[in-house]
Structure 1
Amino acid sequence: MKWLGTWWTTRGKRHQEMPEENLYLIKELRTARMEWENAQCRLDYVIERDQIDYAVFALEASEKRYEMLLRKAKRARLTLLDEKTGKVAKV
């Protein structure tokens, strides 16, 4: 799912009305997603064994962090809305 053209909401409240901790969680989710995608790309370009080990470790760590933040967003009842389609995807 593309992150541009989407915004997070909670119980029908727009981004501006959210508590500060939810806004921080949204920011962290975006950062974690970007780190995860970067780790996936990095794995494609490694050559040496040490680089491979590090790339795999970084990928697993970033994936775990992203999953943890998604669970936290789900507990906070945050929802992702795609502005182009208008479809809501619960986290």
Structure 2
Amino acid sequence: MGAKLRLDGRVETLAVSSVEAGRDDIGGVELLAEIREAHRDWINAQYHFEQAVGSDQIDYAVYAIEATQRRYEMLLRQAKRLGTASPEWKGGIPR
């Protein structure tokens, strides 16, 4: 299941994560992968904002930043609640 978005004439399909689909039973490894993906999506949304031209593109980019940031924060809260940890996070944000 996914949502399709149109940006600069391209159609992008966004995957719906198991967390967004209402599943709380995902494992720690899968959750960490979703957190990495959400962080990457957030960074990409910020890049699109920097490249936006015109008020419609800027409005869309702001919306995308807010949405991706909220997803990232939601996943981090879930990881904290589940006690999920990764040794590679010791230096900060996952890569």
TM-score, normalising length from structure 1? 0.66
Structure 1 residue ranges (4+ consecutive) displaced by more than 6 angstroms after TM superposition: none
Change (3 A) 1:80 1:57: same
Higher relative contact order (CA 8 A, sep 6+): 1
Distance 1:88 1:33 in 2: 15
Unaligned 5+ runs, structure 1: 1-18
Sequence identity of aligned pairs in percent? 43
Cα displacement (A) at 1:56: 0.1
Aligned pairs (5 A) from 1:46-85: 46-82=52-88
> Which of 38, 42, 57 pairs up with 2:48?
42
TM-score, normalising length from structure 2? 0.63
Spell out, residue by residue over 1:23-67, the C-alpha distance to the aligned partner (whole angstroms, 9 max, x if none): 211111011000000011111010110000000000000000000
Unaligned 5+ runs, structure 2: 1-24
| Equivalent pairs, count | 68
